[in-house]
Amino acid sequence: MTDSSRAGKGGTRDTSVGDRDISLEADMKHIDQHHRVLLEQIRVLLDPAEAGRIQETLDLIVTCAANRFRTEERLHQKTDYARAGEHLEAHHRFTAVFGTLKKEYDDSGHSLTILMKLTKFLLAWLKEHIRGQDQEFADYFHQFRSPT
């Protein structure tokens, strides 16, 4: 990094727009899109008119969550995120609990009781993790990208 590449940034971190930076921004947008996808998936689970899509939606949630977690964890590493460890633990807990609930649903067939447990868990995840830990990381990310 040259001195001129730091000019005007006021920090010690190279924030020049290069392939690496574009990749980070793309990953962050990817995470935002995943959050919107999860909201739509919860809507499907709660809508009796969508009963025929529940199994497919549960399978999609597993795939989407795994992809989202990989992307987030990659960003944590690339930005030296100090709270990466506890964030990773939360992802592992989600995978374990959702996996258990989904298996219950898979084994019992269409069960309204388990479906309600699943949607309750996903809504809590949305509120506590996505609007909590993920938002905290997003704030850190924007600070990392544009240090004051």
Interaction pattern, residues 44-73, with Fe ion; x per rule: CB under 5 A: ----------------------------x-
Task: Report the residue number, 56 or 80, with the smaller CB distance to Fe ion.
Answer: 80
- Strand spans (E) along 12-147: none
Rule CB under 5 A: say whether 134 interacts with Fe ion: yes
Pick between residue 42 and residue 134 the one whose CB is nearest to Fe ion.
Answer: 134
By C-beta, is 93 or 120 nearer to Fe ion?
93
| CB contact at 8 A, 38 and 123 | no
Alpha-carbon dihedral 12, 16, 18, 21, rounded to 10 degrees:
60
Q: Which two tokens stand for residue 5?
A: 């590449």
Decide if residue 76 touches Fe ion (CB under 5 A). no
d(CA 103, CA 100): 5
Structure tokens at 34: 């995943």
Indicate the residue among 58 and 134 with the shorter CB distance to Fe ion: 134
CB of 114 to Fe ion, least distance (A): 24
* Close Cβ partners of 43 (under 8 Å, ≥ 6 residues apart): 50
Write the binding mask 86 to 125 for Fe ion: x where contact by CB under 5 A, - elsewhere.
----------------------------------------
Question: In whole angstroms, how close is the CB of 119 to Fe ion at the nearest point?
Answer: 19
Which residues have a Cβ under 8 Å from the Cβ of 117 and sit 6 or more positions away?
101, 104
Residues in contact with Fe ion by CB under 5 A are: 72, 134
